[in-house]
Amino acid sequence: MELELRHLRTVRAIADTGSLTKAAATLGLAQPALSAQLRRIEKALGGALFDRDHTGARATPLGELVLERARVVLPAVSELQAEAVRFANATGSLDRFRLGGTHGPLLGGLVDRMAAAHPSVPVSTYTSWSVAEIASLVIDGRLDFALIGTCGESPPPLADRLAWEVVGVDPVFVMLPEDHALAHETELELAALADECWADVPGDGCFADCFTSACARSGFTPVSVYETDTSSVVHLVQVGRAIGLCRATFPPTPGVVTRPLAGAPLSWRHLVGWHPHSPAADAAAGTVAGATRAAYAEAVSRSPGYARWLGAHPRFGTVA
């Protein structure tokens, strides 16, 4: 693994807060995800950066060396980015759309709308499972706009440096094979699924922890959870190997039915973000936000069952 600026920000956050738990909250990550990232950083640098015990995390001599360099490098890069943005605002114009997103249902709809509305402007995309990586690329000026999701009310990454707008809020639904014994139900109790194997897409937010907590409140621990790509999740559901977790806007799929969970114990927010001082923000932030909302509304309309469900649950759906 090559060391990146986001890794230095992670190390600095742990040192500044003195705790992996507090650093995870600051960075908008789940604590297990931050621990795994720290292990990768330490492996790349050749040794432990922090001594950790029940009182917190303290930098080792190697950690102090890395922090000393990070406190020089990070402000210098931030200053460079600010100067570059000022220069671009003064001398340039937006001649492309660079869109980044996780593997959700809205990126394709946004690309379609931006390409149709601006046929002479190139549109490029970058996808990643990591919302932290997408946000860092916007900070670094390598992406203009980010389309991500966050679990529940958890903050988006780099919320103090990027502008974020919530586009819509979905409950998390369950995907079942169409011949499942509960497929005829209109709503499912989570406890009724205690003996099932589960499938979901990976991520670096808190969703895995929130799902485990919701299961615990319903009196069980998941038998197993397969973390894999969307196509594989669908396949595992279709062949009856697992049931899947999905956003309520998941499109109709052969051999699969989606059902809401009683009480909507899990939710997902769709957000679009940008650097507030970038030329992209000045030129097109309102247009991109509006196009993202339109893509979300279209995704909802493709699921008549979800559209009906929203009528009785007004706290979900499009956020104006």
Closest by CA to 6, choosing from 17, 22, 151, 29, is: 29
pLDDT at position 88 is 55
Closest by CA to 133, choosing from 124, 125, 143, is: 143
Distance CA 224, CA 195 (A): 10
Closest by CA to 182, choosing from 237, 145, 120, is: 237
β 163-177/225-227 pair status = unpaired
Q: 217-223 — which CB contacts under 8 Å span 24+ positions? A: 217/265, 218/189, 218/190, 218/191, 218/194, 218/265, 219/191, 219/194, 220/191, 220/194, 222/196, 222/197, 222/198, 223/195, 223/196, 223/197, 223/198
pTM: 0.71
Instruction: Measure the CA angle with vertex 149, ends 319 and 126; round to 5°.
Output: 120
pLDDT at position 92 is 43
Domains by residue range for the chain, with CATH: 5-89 (1.10.10.10), 95-320 (3.40.190.290)
The count of C-alpha atoms lying within 13 angstroms of the C-alpha of 107, restricted to the half-sphere facing its C-beta, is: 20
**pLDDT by 10s per residue, the chain, length 320:** 678 888 999 999 999 999 888 888 888 888 888 888 899 998 888 999 999 888 889 999 998 999 999 888 888 887 777 666 655 554 445 678 899 998 777 899 999 999 998 888 899 999 998 999 999 999 888 899 999 999 988 899 999 899 999 999 999 999 999 999 999 999 999 999 999 999 999 888 888 899 999 999 999 999 999 999 999 999 999 999 999 999 898 888 899 999 999 999 999 999 999 999 888 888 889 999 999 999 999 988 888 788 889 989 988 988 86
Instruction: Measure the CA angle with vertex 216, ends 130 and 256; round to 5°.
Output: 60
Residue pair 267/233 in contact by the 8 Å Cβ criterion: no
Instruction: Measure the CA angle with vertex 106, ends 260 and 4; round to 5°.
Output: 110
Q: 317-320 — which CB contacts under 8 Å span 24+ positions? A: 317/168, 317/169, 318/167, 318/168, 318/293, 319/166, 319/167, 319/168, 319/169
pLDDT at position 90 is 44
